[in-house]
Amino acid sequence: MIGRVRRVVVSIAASSGGSGALVFDGTTKGGARLRRAVLLVVIAAFALAACAGDDPTNLGRVVGGDVPQNSLNPAGPIAEKVDSLFWLVFWIATVIFVLVSVVLLFGVLRFRERKGKERQVRQLHGNTKLEIAWTIVPAVILAVVTVPTLSVLFDIRTAPTPEDNALEIEVIGHQWWWEFRYPEYGFTTANEMHIPIDRPVYLTLTSVDVIHSFWVPRLAGKRDAVPGRETHILLEADETGTYLGQCAEFCGLAHADMRQRVFAQTPGEFEAWVQAQLQPATLPTEGAALAGWETFQVQCSSCHAIAGTSANAQLAPNLTHFASRTAFAGATLDNTQDHLRQWLRDPSSLKPMTPERNDLAAGRVLGMPDLGLTEPQIEELIAFLETLE
């Protein structure tokens, strides 16, 4: 069949939405060279895509953290189990791919049609031994893959025992940010999770709107956060550092900008962070910060909460210790004055959102609206937010 192909058509979609066609004769020397060139370009594209995955700058507008999102570089026992399972399946699949490719190439080359030579191919109508073999062998391979897969799935989702001394964190997905509640301590934060190293962390996930998927590649596998349901997953870090993650389930316009940062700390550092989070906000009493607090009460308190104040809404990220966080806007922007200024001036210019669909009465917020703040109000709000340490 391959020898009888006379024409090859490669359709190229134009960026404007039109299309062109590159037509060449597959039997000419030029056509053969072009075929090889197209194949080489495709292979090179896959190779370059694989190389690009280890470049931290591919994370987007803000890098943040110590390393890229690389599940092949586990930093904890849970992630190591997922990594080991991946390599087991990968090498089994590689062996199968090589064997099948060798047999296929042998058949194509050994029995290809040759000019001037005709032969009658012997017809077969079944071979019991072969049929038994290609039924049993795949079944054995599937069993080899299934057993460790189920073992890992149960390990990473099984609730810890009291002896494990696991830290429990409730994870709530919103369009498009993450809420983290620490029921053991009684406080809430957003987009940035702090955990102690060498201690299991048991996450209970849910969502208030659509399905999201929590994923920090270096610490654990993916787990969906489903509205009206609770799902669970374990993670653990065995070295300090900042680990990046993001929503891994398409959830709307700003899906790509729904990220999170996990800070793995020594037990002492984690305890110090907890004690700081337990402190209520200290409100300013004078100057621009006081004016910013007054603006906050009018413009922001219907969505945001600040512990220890009259602002207690839960529709948008809790801002109690906002100034101590490294990022905001779904962990896509570093927490700097310039980013805050642009965010308060025109939030949709930094993150795609649909605030026109917000319905506070129904508890639905789909983005930070343009509040129409004046430049003095923006500077006063920044001054106030910087006091929330």
In the predicted structure, residue 12 carries a pLDDT above the cut 50: no
**Could you tell me how many helices (H) and strands (E) the chain has, helices first?**
7, 14
| Amino acid of residue 319 | L
Can you give the pLDDT at residue 29?
Answer: 61
Listed in order, strand segments (DSSP E) in the chain are 7-13, 19-25, 167-174, 177-182, 187-190, 192-196, 201-207, 212-214, 223-225, 231-235, 241-246, 259-265, 327-328, 333-334
Residue 51's pLDDT is 62
Rounded to whole angstroms, how far apart are CA atoms 133 and 142? Answer: 14
> In 3D, which of 258, 254, 248 has the Cα closest to residue 177?
258
**The sheet that has 231-235: what strands, in order across it?**
187-190, 177-182, 167-174, 201-207, 231-235
Average of per-residue pLDDT across 299-324 = 91
Q: What is the pLDDT of residue 21?
A: 45
pLDDT computed for residue 127 by the predictor? 83
- pLDDT at residue 97 in the model: 94
Q: Which CATH number fits domain 287-385: 1.10.3210.10, 1.10.10.10, 2.60.40.420, 3.10.105.10?
A: 2.60.40.420
pLDDT band at 367 (very low <50, low <70, confident <90, very high): confident
pLDDT in tens, 40-75: 888 888 777 666 554 444 443 333 344 567 888 889
pLDDT (tens digit, 9 = 90+) per residue, 132-155? 998 999 999 999 899 999 998 888
At 239 the three-state DSSP class reads coil
Average pLDDT rounded to a whole number, residues 10-15: 40
Q: Where are the domains of the chain?
A: 2-52, 287-385
Average pLDDT of the chain? Answer: 84
pLDDT at 20: 44
218, 69 contact by CB (below 8 A): yes
Q: Confirm if 357 and 366 have CB atoms less than 8 A apart.
A: yes
Q: Which helix (H) or strand (E) holds 145?
A: helix 128-157
Residue 49, pLDDT score: 67
Instruction: With H, G, I as helix, E, B as strand and everything else as coil, classify residue 3.
Output: helix
Can you say how many angstroms the Cα of residue 198 is from the centroid of all Cα atoms in its chain? 23
pLDDT at 64: 39
Q: How confident is the model at residue 368 (pLDDT cuts 50, 70, 90)?
A: confident
Both tokens of 110, joined, read: 């050994």
Q: What is the pLDDT of residues 89-136, one digit of tens each?
A: 999 999 999 999 999 999 888 877 777 777 777 777 788 888 999 899
- Least confident range from 121-125, 196-200, 327-331, 357-361: namely 121-125
pTM of the predicted model, to two decimals?
0.77
Instruction: Judge contact between 181 and 172, C-beta under 8 A.
Output: yes
Query: Which of these, 316, 278, 333, 311, lies nearest to 384 by C-alpha position?
Result: 311
Backbone angles phi, psi at 308, to 5 degrees: 85, 5
For residue 172, which of 204, 217, 194 has the smallest C-alpha distance? 204
CA dist., res. 20 & res. 90, Å (int): 38
How would DSSP label each residue in 347-389? Answer: GGGTS---GGG-BGGGTB--S-------HHHHHHHHHHHTT--
* Residue pointed to by tokens 């337990």: 278
Burial 277-304 (b: 16+ CB within 10 A, else e): beeebeebeeebbbbbbebbeebbbebb
Residue 32 phi, psi (nearest 5)? -65, -40
Q: Looking at the predicted structure, is the pLDDT value of residue 80 above 50? A: yes
Residues in the chain: 389
